[in-house]
């Protein structure tokens, strides 16, 4: 007999801090007890009690082709039968790097790693090593992993140094990061005018997905490229989330901006721990063993993760794939908006590629400040109403959602039927 979520959560908290291995899983933002899952297939999850849900979290983005896709599982099984790890070069690593280079416009050399945090951390070290400068610029509401230098929030003014956003981050480290408002071109122009010669790089989610979905305003990414060129800083696109999600070549292909460095993760591992850092050849050649910037990893390029990534990327790069997932995402948000309007609920939604955002406010947000104006209490009620009807959304008002190629007419109909009842409860 299976245990209830309450019992499973109580048991987990005896051995794991907070009962979870990543904070948002704890349902602290929405309240209640987290769902414990047992299996997944296509667009559906099955929990420990055997209940099924349409999944719009997708393991926080990686499951672009759907859960347990037969070709991905077969590739993993074949690789696992040969070896679990070598800690040495394999031909498959080179094949994956070649495929990434063919998909993403700016990648001249690629280094494989194990996590998005590791990729962004290495990108900052490389930017500093290449430029000989110390300061990094990030944007309020953009998340780039949990390394010390990136767990930083805005100071009291545009030109102040950042403040730690986590205990355990020394103020001295946070002081090397400057924080601007996402989509505020005038503010970052002011910052570069004052401190441009000290800035090693600018790191940005070209489409923000960690404060819900926030699209770049026209001209914002272009301004970042121009400012970095003018002042000799590096432009770093964090495409851990957007890579393969907003276009096969990532946001840089969709918007026509060529960054100096790019971090990738999530989709490129097909659900297994895999990430990548790539970019201009002259910059990437500063990495050891060619250059003085050190980075290493025992499990980098793990053959099981590489196999899953290769199989996933080949499926996602097929003709018509992107159009299919984009069309479903567009239908989903249009349907949700229609159901909210029918119920008279203040709500809006938008999508780009296979990512989407839901907002309990009248217009889609363009900044962190606007995101924070959303009605979080109303989202939390909506989340639980949808969960009770078998629809699994991200358990936070500040996270983007994801669709997969496995989502189709049945999943859309189930979602909109649930939404009609959930919005009805909000009216």
Q: Please tell me the predicted confidence (pLDDT) of residue 120.
A: 97
In sequence order, which residues have a C-beta less than 8 Å from that of residue 97 and are 6 or more positions away?
A: 110, 112, 276
- What is this structure's pTM? 0.96
Q: Which of 53, 130, 143, 328 is catalytic?
A: 143
Q: Please tell me the predicted confidence (pLDDT) of residue 158.
A: 42
Q: Please tell me the predicted confidence (pLDDT) of residue 305.
A: 98
Structure tokens at 229: 């060129």
Q: Please tell me the predicted confidence (pLDDT) of residue 82.
A: 97
Enumerate domains of the chain plus CATH numbers: 5-68+319-426 (3.90.1150.10), 70-316 (3.40.640.10)
3-state SS, residue 217: coil
Angle between helices 70-82 and 303-316 (to 10 degrees): 160
Structure tokens at 1: 């007999």
Mean pLDDT by groups of 10 residues along the chain of 427 residues: 84 93 90 95 97 98 98 98 96 98 97 97 98 96 88 57 77 89 96 97 97 97 98 98 96 98 97 98 98 96 98 96 98 98 97 98 95 95 98 96 98 98 90
Q: Which of 55, 181, 238, 260 is catalytic?
A: 238
Catalytic site includes residue 238: yes
Catalytic site includes residue 266: yes
Rg (CA), the chain: 21
- Which of 265, 207, 214 is CA-nearest to residue 397? 214
- Angstrom CA distances, 89 to 92, 93, 274, 300, stand at 9, 7, 15, 10
Sign of the CA dihedral running 163, 165, 170, 174: negative
Q: Which of 53, 130, 260, 266 is catalytic?
A: 266
- For residue 321, with 0-12 CB atoms within 10 Å meaning exposed, 13-18 middle and 19 or more buried, which class applies? middle
């Amino acid at each position: 007999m299976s245990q209830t979520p309450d019992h499973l959560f109580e048991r987990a908290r005896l051995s794991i801090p907070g009962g979870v291995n990543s904070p948002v899983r704890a349902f602290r933002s929405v309240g209640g007890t987290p769902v414990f899952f047992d299996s997944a297939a296509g667009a559906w999850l099955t929990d420990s009690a055997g209940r099924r849900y349409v999944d719009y979290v997708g393991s926080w983005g990686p499951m672009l082709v759907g859960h347990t896709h037969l070709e991905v599982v077969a590739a993993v099984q074949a690789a696992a039968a040969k070896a679990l790890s070598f800690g040495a070069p394999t031909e498959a690593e080179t094949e994956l790097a070649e495929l990434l280079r063919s998909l993403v416009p700016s990648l001249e050399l690629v280094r494989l790693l194990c996590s998005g945090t590791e990729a962004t951390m290495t990108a900052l070290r490389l930017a500093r090593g290449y430029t000989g400068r110390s300061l990094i610029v990030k944007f309020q509401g953009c998340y780039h992993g949990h390394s010390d230098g990136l767990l930083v929030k805005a100071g009291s003014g545009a030109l102040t140094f950042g403040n730690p956003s986590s205990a355990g981050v020394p103020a001295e480290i946070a002081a090397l990061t400057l924080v601007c408002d996402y989509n505020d071109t005038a503010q970052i122009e002011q910052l570069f005018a004052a401190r441009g010669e000290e800035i090693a790089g600018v790191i940005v989610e070209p489409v923000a997905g960690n404060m819900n979905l926030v699209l770049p305003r026209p001209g914002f990414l272009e301004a970042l490229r121009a400012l970095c060129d003018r002042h000799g800083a590096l432009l770093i696109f964090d495409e851990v989330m957007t890579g393969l999600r907003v276009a096969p070549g990532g946001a840089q292909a969709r918007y026509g901006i060529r960054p100096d460095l790019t971090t990738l993760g999530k989709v490129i591992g097909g659900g297994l721990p895999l990430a990548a850092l790539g970019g201009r050849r002259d910059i990437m050649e500063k990495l050891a063993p060619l250059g003085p910037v050190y980075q290493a990893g025992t499990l980098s390029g793990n053959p099981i993760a590489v196999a899953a990534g290769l199989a996933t990327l080949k499926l996602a790069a097929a003709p018509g794939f992107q159009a299919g997932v984009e069309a479903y995402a567009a239908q989903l948000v249009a349907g949700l908006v229609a159901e909210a309007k029918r119920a008279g609920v203040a709500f809006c939604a938008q999508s780009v590629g296979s990512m989407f955002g839901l907002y309990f406010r009248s217009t889609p947000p363009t900044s962190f400040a606007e995101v924070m104006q959303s009605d979080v209490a109303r989202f939390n009620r909506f989340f639980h109403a949808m969960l009770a009807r078998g629809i699994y959304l991200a358990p936070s008002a500040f996270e983007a959602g994801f669709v997969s190629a496995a989502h189709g007419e049945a999943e859309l109909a189930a979602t909109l039927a649930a939404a009609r009842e959930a919005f009805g409860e909000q009216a």
